[in-house]
Amino acid sequence: MEFRKTTVLPLDDAQAASHLFRQWVHDRPHVLFVVLGSGPDREALVSKAGMFAGTEHQPRWVIWARDLSAIEADIAQLKESTAGLKQAVLGGEARAFVLSLGDAIQDVISSSETADNFRVNLAYMRAEVLP
């Protein structure tokens, strides 16, 4: 499993999870791949996103939010590149989403999609496109 560039948000402290999520989003210039939920399939997606995150000096990082409810209010305040992306995340239809350096949701991997290597890289690339 590849977890070198992954931050796992705590399950037992929603306030700490929210605070940590906000720090990663607003205080650090990163392209963030945020995986939502738990279970073996989510763990595999976290690992896959970590494989494609690159070296420590590259802007790609992974956040694993096992409990969406802890960061729902924070997600509601994010910008989105296309209308409906934020609602897909908040409505529970998303397995993962990516944020650009400008803190906007650029892509959502839905629960019904196959999150293979191509799809993970595509999500990262969509977040890296300059407006």
pLDDT tens track for 31-70: 999 999 999 999 999 999 999 999 999 999 999 999 999 9
Residues 6+ apart with CB under 8 A from 40: none
pLDDT band at 129 (very low <50, low <70, confident <90, very high): confident
Domain boundaries, the chain: 6-129
Percent of the chain at pLDDT exceeding 90: 92
Q: Please tell me the pTM assigned to this model.
A: 0.96
For residue 4, what pLDDT is reported?
87
User: Is the pLDDT reported for residue 131 higher than 70?
Assistant: no
| Strand locations in 37-101 (E) | 60-65, 79-80, 94-99
CATH 3.30.9 fits 6-129, yes or no: no
For residues 103 and 34, is the Cβ–Cβ distance under 8 A? Answer: no
